[in-house]
Homo-oligomer: A and B are copies of this chain.
């Protein structure tokens, strides 16, 4: 170590670690030598000795899904300021992959995880982790009540959209859902169906899987009905876009003959040639909150668990509203940032 060029050996450690017990003058001298010698403290050795490395794992089902990048970015930006690293883990919603990642990163000394795609892997993940305080769930609500989470109020978001569609005069509303194990899907449907039924309307539900694949089939089936629906909701914006495409290819004009809406307010939702009505999540807030909670938990053993539901925001745009000539009226995702 650079001790030779100054005074001692372990004093250097204290200096670097900003330990209080160190003399004014000594500290100055050491610091001088340190950057005079272009010395690089080895994060590895430090991690081994102290048992923790400033790294977290971010579990997502698919980073290429446009919902996740802004979340990842928010987390990464805050981590960078704290000198933390975030390693990105694509689970593909496969429990084995999740567990594999968790075990490997745990051995690598990561301090904790943020899991933005909890699903069938939840129990296995918690088991592999040992300590549930080393993880906080985001986006999808965990079934377990013994872990922290930050999710959107999906029921409320669904309800907002339902009320809006009813107010627009729709009475038969179709919903292309996500997989049954995804809490967000079930919750959005609950809110949506609740509002629709309360407004005297009716729902049609088809099961999808978060991907646009089933859209064509679902729309085709729905349009074959004697009385087809007039409003179509996708579990997310990608699905809604696919529904839009299927509808226009079937010869229906949007929004004149059919309304379309999605969830999440991902970037392309407003930059699409026909701006999409959607219920947005506060993704950046979600990411930052999740990280803060995680770090608090892993650093303070007495910290209590935290459960947060973030509000969702309805963005009315051109796929549902005829009287909306320009796109200027709806804020873009970045305008929403807080």
* Chain A residues near B (Cβ < 8 Å): 40-45, 47-48, 53, 55, 62-66, 68-70, 72-73, 76-77, 80, 83, 85-90, 97, 100-101, 103-109, 212, 238, 241-242, 244-245, 248-249, 267-268, 271-274, 326-327
B108 touches A267 (CB 8 A): no
With contacts A88-B86, A104-B85, A249-B326 taken as known, whether A109 is within 8 angstroms of B273 at the C-beta atoms is no
Task: Please report whether the interface of chain A is mostly helix, strand, loop or mixed according to DSSP.
Answer: helix
Interchain nearest-CB distance for A87 vs B (Å): 4
B69 touches A108 (CB 8 A): no
Q: Which of A53, A76, A106, A108 has the most CB of B within 10 A?
A: A108
With contacts A66-B69, A88-B76 taken as known, whether A327 is within 8 angstroms of B109 at the C-beta atoms is no
Residues of B near A106 (CB, < 8 A) are 40
A44 touches B87 (CB 8 A): no
B268 touches A327 (CB 8 A): no
Complex Cα spacing A333 to B203, Å: 33
Complex Cα spacing A212 to B44, Å: 42
Interchain nearest-CB distance for A236 vs B (Å): 12
The 8 Å CB contact of A272, one of B64, B65, B100, B268, is: B268
